[in-house]
Amino acid sequence: MALMKSLRQNKTLQSIYTDFPISALFSACILVWMLPFICLIILFVFPAALLLISLILLLAGWWWAAKASLPDSLFARLIPMLLPLLLLLLIFIYTLHAYYEHPDVVLVIFQISGALYCSFLLTFLISSERRYSSTAKARGVAYLLGFILLGFILASFGPFVVNVFFYTPPDDAIKPGKEASVGHIELRPFIKSGMLVRPSSTPSLSITSEYPRLCGVCALFPVYAAFAQSVYAGLDKKSVSEIVDCSDSSIYLPLLADCADILFGTTPSQKQRDYVAAKGLTLMETPIGREAFVFLVHRDNPVRSLTQAQIRSIYSGRISNWKELGGPDEAILAFQRPNAFSFDKDEYDSQRIMQRIMEGETLIHPLREHRSNEVAAYRNRKNAIGYSLRWYATTLFSSSDIRLLAIDGVDPTPENIRNGTYPFIVPILAVAARPLSSQSKSLLEWITSPEGQDLLERAGYVPLR
């Protein structure tokens, strides 16, 4: 009984009990603000609404402190009001995992929610301290300044700390390997400890001036970067970066702007051809190798092979359960690639190839990221299926948990790609839009020679012969 009486007389507990409704109210407000579509709509569509809501909360903080029955202890007065900020931090840590591919969205929501609540808390503190003696006011001002400083530190470095210590991507996400990322410095030419393959013997070609400028899709960067490293003499890792580059969007712009001489990619789409023709140019294509367009599933998926018709049925929506294909009774998660923001609004290479495989049938709507409107990245779940170029699936995103499907009973092995039995073979092309210089012609001749084809094969691609 004495303990219960002591607890009832505790001013801190009294304050929490007395002020709990307002704390719960603003905790609920934070939960509402954590809904992304509300936060982002207000931020981008109605930015003036943020100012209006902040003003309302400023007035609410002043009014509440003026009307509420508050204890003498500043600490006791602050505890109920700081609880929502702790809740906000916990929500931030939790949602960062769900939004692991879009941490910027989480950060925006976190900052908006925190700023709105701090609007209330600021005037609450100022108004509540007006009631007390000068000594208490001075102490309150000191606390207030300390709180503002702490808030600034948390807003500046808190998300970074949380990201480092609490952020872990879902286990079913396929992530680029550290050693294979196209953007990794070790895949750039003229890096001493680099990962680019090198010729087995001294190349018969050496270019010492007027170096052909090379660009292309990132999936082919390791091979044409190796070409440059093998035959470009007199360059280093810094100077070559101005001559050799890659991109997965707007890949034809360097050719059209005369910023590149040769582009390495797959078969151009009709949109790309039309766009180039509208500029008074013609694409000149030289085959240099072969790739495969592959379909991948989780290694535990019992389905080993699909027909071309079954692929089209999956991605048109006619087949939606693995049971129809001899697999488990689970819905098929059919992942796609997003559209690229390219000059002609065309798709990525893999998405464009997929459109050709569909033979005029309409693709189903792609899966979307949780609580966002972007096309979902591939998740290696046991009921998933996705597609890619073989090099991406076996090198850049290499994982023991994925397996490449056979198509019409034919596996996408280098031998089956070379002999043409695998159905979805993609030509690797060197494309030019203007007459080639003598140096560019010499480079293409070397690439298609036995020396160049050997280098292409050891880089992980399939040569012409």
Residue type, 406: A
Cα distances (angstroms) measured from residue 342 to each of 213, 251, 290, 338, 339: 21, 8, 24, 12, 9
- Per-residue pLDDT band for 152 (boundaries 50, 70, 90) equals low
Mean pLDDT computed over 210-224: 90
pLDDT of residue 177: 38
pLDDT of residue 67: 72
When the pLDDT of each residue in the chain is averaged and rounded to a whole number, the result is 76
Question: Is residue 373 over pLDDT 50?
Answer: no
SS3 127: helix
Question: Is residue 46 over pLDDT 70?
Answer: no
Q: What is the DSSP letter of 375?
A: B
pLDDT of residue 29: 55
pLDDT of residue 120: 75
Question: Is residue 343 over pLDDT 50?
Answer: no
pLDDT of residue 49: 66
Q: pLDDT tens-digit profile of 162-176? A: 555 444 444 444 443
Cβ contact 340:347 at 8 Å: yes
Mean pLDDT computed over 289-308: 94
Q: What is the DSSP letter of 174?
A: -
pTM of the model as a whole: 0.60
Q: What is the DSSP letter of 36?
A: H
User: How far, in Å, CA of 103 to CA of 93, rounded?
Assistant: 11
Q: What is the DSSP letter of 206?
A: -
Cα distances (angstroms) measured from residue 251 to each of 126, 215, 349: 57, 8, 10
Dihedral angle, C-alpha 279, 285, 288, 290, nearest 10 °: 90
Question: Is residue 324 over pLDDT 90?
Answer: yes
Antiparallel, parallel or unpaired: β 333-334 and 284-298: unpaired
Longest dimension (CA), the chain: 99
User: How far, in Å, CA of 127 to CA of 447, rounded?
Assistant: 77
In the structure encoding, which two tokens stand for residue 331, read together? 């819905």
pLDDT of residue 175: 42
More confident site: 191 or 85: 191
In the 3-class helix/strand/coil scheme, how is 322-371 assigned residue by residue? HHHHCCCCCECEECCCCECCCCCCCECHHHHHHHHHCCCCCCCCCCECCC
Q: pLDDT tens-digit profile of 422-448? A: 999 999 999 999 999 999 999 999 999
Mean pLDDT lowest for which of 7-21, 282-296, 316-330, 375-389? 7-21
- Per-residue pLDDT band for 325 (boundaries 50, 70, 90) equals very high
User: How far, in Å, CA of 219 to CA of 265, rounded?
Assistant: 8
The number of beta carbons lying within 10 Å of the beta carbon of residue 29 is 17
Which of 190, 210, 196 shows the shortest CA–CA distance to 441?
Answer: 210
In the structure encoding, which two tokens stand for residue 112, read together? 């908006």
In whole angstroms, what separates CA 374 from the centre of its chain?
A: 10
Token pair 């609004």 in the structure block, residue: 345
355 contacts: CB under 8 Å, gap ≥ 6? 347, 363
Q: pLDDT tens-digit profile of 385-418? A: 999 889 888 876 677 888 999 999 999 999 999 9
254: β partners: none
Cβ contact 114:50 at 8 Å: no
pLDDT of residue 133: 56
Percentage of the residues of the chain whose pLDDT score is greater than 70 = 61
More confident site: 460 or 57: 460
Cα distances (angstroms) measured from residue 83 to each of 7, 92, 215, 248: 20, 14, 54, 46
